[in-house]
Amino acid sequence: MVWGMDSSIDEAVTPEATDAAGAGTGPAAGGGPEGAAGERGALAPVSLSPSRASDFMQCPLLYRFRVIDRLPEKPSEAATRGTLVHAVLERLFDAPAGERTAPRAKALIPGQWDRLRESRPELTELFADDPEGERLAGWLAEAERLVERWFTLEDPTRLEPAERELFVETELDSGLRLRGIIDRVDVAPTGEVRIVDYKTGKAPRPEYAEGALFQMKFYALVVWRLKGVVPRRLQLVYLGSGDMLTYDPVPADLERVERRLHALWEAIRQATESGDWRPRPTKLCGWCDHRAHCPEFGGTPPPYPLPVRAPGSRAG
Ligand code: SF4
Q: What is the pLDDT of residues 108-156, one digit of tens each?
A: 999 999 999 999 999 988 999 998 999 999 999 999 999 999 999 999 9
Residue 184 Cα to ligand 1 midpoint, Å, equals 32
Q: Domain for residue 99, yes or no?
A: yes
Ligand 1 nearest atom to the CA of residue 288, by list position: 6
Q: Domain for residue 133, yes or no?
A: yes
DSSP, collapsed to helix, strand or coil, labels residue 19 as coil
Show the domain range for 131: 20-265
Q: How much is the pLDDT for 131?
A: 86
Residue 72 Cα to ligand 1 midpoint, Å, equals 15
Calculate helix-pair angle for 134-153, 77-92, nearest 10 degrees.
50
DSSP, collapsed to helix, strand or coil, labels residue 92 as helix
Is the pLDDT confidence value at 29 over 60? no
For residue 237, the tally of other CB atoms under 10 A from its CB is: 22
Could you report the per-residue pLDDT of 265-285, keeping only the tens digit for each?
Answer: 999 999 999 999 999 999 999
When pLDDT is averaged across residues 246-251 and rounded to a whole number, the result is 97
For a ligand 1 pocket test, name from 68, 71, 284, 291 the mutation site with the most ligand atoms within 8 angstroms of its C-beta.
291
Q: Domain for residue 286, yes or no?
A: no
Q: pTM of the predicted model, to two decimals?
A: 0.85
Q: How much is the pLDDT for 20?
A: 28
What is the overall mean pLDDT for the chain?
87
Ligand 1 nearest atom to the CA of residue 60, by list position: 8
Q: How much is the pLDDT for 316?
A: 42
CATH number of the structural domain spanning residue 69: 3.90.320
Q: How much is the pLDDT for 309?
A: 78
Q: How much is the pLDDT for 136?
A: 96
Q: Is the CB of 20 under 6 A from ligand 1?
A: no
Q: How much is the pLDDT for 44?
A: 59
Is the pLDDT confidence value at 171 over 80? yes
Q: Domain for residue 141, yes or no?
A: yes
Q: Domain for residue 287, yes or no?
A: no
Q: Domain for residue 260, yes or no?
A: yes
Q: Domain for residue 181, yes or no?
A: yes
Residue 289 Cα to ligand 1 midpoint, Å, equals 8
Query: Which comes out higher in pLDDT, residue 36 or 132?
Result: 132
Residue 293 Cα to ligand 1 midpoint, Å, equals 9
Q: Domain for residue 24, yes or no?
A: yes
Residue 267 sits at the vertex; the CA angle it makes with 264 and 270, to the nearest 5 degrees, is 150
Atom 4, ligand 1: residue with shortest CA distance: 294
Could you tell me the maximum CA-CA distance found in the chain, to the nearest angstrom? 64
Domain count, the chain: 1
Is the pLDDT confidence value at 257 over 70? yes
List Cβ neighbours of 209 (8 Å cut-off, separation of 6 or more): 15, 245
Q: How far apart are CA 49 and CA 302, in angstroms?
A: 24
Is the pLDDT confidence value at 158 over 90? yes
Q: How much is the pLDDT for 53?
A: 96
Give the rounded percent of residues in the chain with a pLDDT score beyond 90. Answer: 77
- Minimum mean pLDDT range among 34-43, 154-163, 306-315: 34-43
Q: How much is the pLDDT for 311?
A: 64
